[in-house]
Chains A and B, each alone.
Chain A
Amino acid sequence: MSLSSERLFGCVRDPERAAALEPREWDGLLRLARRCALLARLGAQIEQAGCMDRLPGRVRDHLLAMAAVAEHHQRSVRWEVNRLRHALRDVEVKIVLLKGAAYVMAGLPVARGRLVSDVDILVPRATLAAVERALLGHGWEPLAEDEYDDYYYRTWMHELPPLRHRDRGAAIDVHHTILPLTGRLHPDPRLLLDSARPIAGTDLTMLAPEDMVLHAAAHAFQDGDLAAGLRDLTDLDLLLRHFAEAESGFWERLVPRAERLQLGRPLYYALRYARRLWRTPVPERAVAALRRARPAWPLGRLMDALVARALVPTGEEGSSPTADLARLLLYIRSHWLRMPPWLLARHLGRKAIRRCVARSQDA
Chain B
Amino acid sequence: MRLSELPATELARRLREGLCWRVGPFVVRLTTPLASVARHVGTLYADFPALEQADVVDAHVSVRAAGWTRRRVSIYSDGAVVYRKVPRAQAVPLTEWTLNLSVFHRPSRFLLLHAGVVEREGRAAIFPGDPGAGKSTLCAALVHRGWRLLSDEVAPLAPADGRIVPVPRPISLKEESIEAVRRFAPHATFGPIWPETAKGRLAHVLPPRESVRRMDEPARPAWVIFPAFTPGAAPRLEPFGKARALLYCATNAFNYDVLGRQGFLALADLIDRCDCYRLSFSDLEQAAAELADLWASRSEVPGP
A interface residues with partner B (beta carbon < 8 Å) = 23-24, 26-27, 30-31, 34-35, 56, 58-59, 61-62, 64-66, 68-69, 71-72, 75, 314-317
Across the interface, which residues of A come within 8 angstroms of B108, CB to CB? 65
Q: B109 to A64, Cβ gap below 8 A? A: yes
Smallest CB-CB separation from B55: which chain A residue? Answer: A23
Q: B107 to A68, Cβ gap below 8 A? A: yes
Q: A31 to B54, Cβ gap below 8 A? A: no
Q: Which of B42-50, B57-65, B129-137 contacts A (4 or more CB under 8 A)?
A: B57-65
**Count of chain B residues near A, Cβ 8 A:** 23
**Complex-state Cα separation, A66 to B260, whole angstroms:** 14
Smallest CB-CB separation from B56: which chain A residue? Answer: A58
For B79, give its contact among A30, A35, A71 (CB under 8 Å): A35
Q: A62 to B260, Cβ gap below 8 A? A: no
B interface residues with partner A (beta carbon < 8 Å) = 27, 53-57, 60, 62, 64, 74, 76, 78-81, 106-109, 257-260
Smallest CB-CB separation from A26: which chain B residue? Answer: B56
**Complex-state Cα separation, A106 to B107, whole angstroms:** 26
16 contacts between A and B (CB under 8 A): A24-B53, A26-B56, A27-B55, A34-B78, A35-B78, A58-B27, A58-B55, A59-B56, A61-B109, A62-B56, A62-B107, A65-B109, A66-B107, A68-B107, A72-B259, A317-B74
Q: Binding site of A, secondary structure by majority: helix, strand, loop or mixed?
A: helix
Across the interface, which residues of A come within 8 angstroms of B81, CB to CB? 317
Q: B55 to A65, Cβ gap below 8 A? A: no
Give the Cβ gap from A350 to chain B, nearest Cβ, in Å: 25
Q: B107 to A24, Cβ gap below 8 A? A: no
**Complex-state Cα separation, A30 to B60, whole angstroms:** 12
Give the Cβ gap from B7 to chain A, nearest Cβ, in Å: 27
Q: A316 to B79, Cβ gap below 8 A? A: yes
**Complex-state Cα separation, A75 to B79, whole angstroms:** 30
Q: B107 to A65, Cβ gap below 8 A? A: yes
**Complex-state Cα separation, A26 to B60, whole angstroms:** 14
**Complex-state Cα separation, A35 to B62, whole angstroms:** 16
Give the Cβ gap from A215 to chain B, nearest Cβ, in Å: 29
Across the interface, which residues of A come within 8 angstroms of B259, CB to CB? 68, 72
Across the interface, which residues of A come within 8 angstroms of B260, CB to CB? 71-72, 75
Give the Cβ gap from A143 to chain B, nearest Cβ, in Å: 21
Across the interface, which residues of B come within 8 angstroms of A72, CB to CB? 257-260
Smallest CB-CB separation from A30: which chain B residue? Answer: B56
Across the interface, which residues of A come within 8 angstroms of B27, CB to CB? 58
Besides A26-B56, A317-B62, 16 more A-B contacts (Cβ < 8 Å) are: A24-B53, A26-B55, A27-B54, A30-B56, A31-B78, A35-B80, A58-B55, A64-B109, A65-B107, A68-B258, A69-B258, A71-B260, A72-B259, A315-B79, A316-B79, A317-B64
Q: A24 to B76, Cβ gap below 8 A? A: no
Q: A56 to B79, Cβ gap below 8 A? A: no
Q: A24 to B258, Cβ gap below 8 A? A: no
Smallest CB-CB separation from B262: which chain A residue? Answer: A68
Q: B76 to A317, Cβ gap below 8 A? A: yes
Give the Cβ gap from A34 to chain B, nearest Cβ, in Å: 7
Give the Cβ gap from B255 to chain A, nearest Cβ, in Å: 9
Across the interface, which residues of A come within 8 angstroms of B54, CB to CB? 27
**Complex-state Cα separation, A248 to B73, whole angstroms:** 59
Across the interface, which residues of A come within 8 angstroms of B106, CB to CB? 65
**Complex-state Cα separation, A75 to B257, whole angstroms:** 10
For A27, give its contact among B56, B64, B107 (CB under 8 Å): B56
Closest 10 CB pairs of A and B: A65-B107, A58-B56, A23-B55, A72-B258, A317-B76, A69-B107, A66-B107, A65-B109, A316-B79, A27-B56
Across the interface, which residues of A come within 8 angstroms of B78, CB to CB? 31, 34-35
Across the interface, which residues of B come within 8 angstroms of A59, CB to CB? 55-56
Across the interface, which residues of B come within 8 angstroms of A68, CB to CB? 107, 109, 258-259
Across the interface, which residues of A come within 8 angstroms of B53, CB to CB? 24
Across the interface, which residues of A come within 8 angstroms of B80, CB to CB? 35
Give the Cβ gap from A32 to chain B, nearest Cβ, in Å: 9
**Complex-state Cα separation, A58 to B55, whole angstroms:** 9
Smallest CB-CB separation from B261: which chain A residue? Answer: A75
Q: A317 to B55, Cβ gap below 8 A? A: no
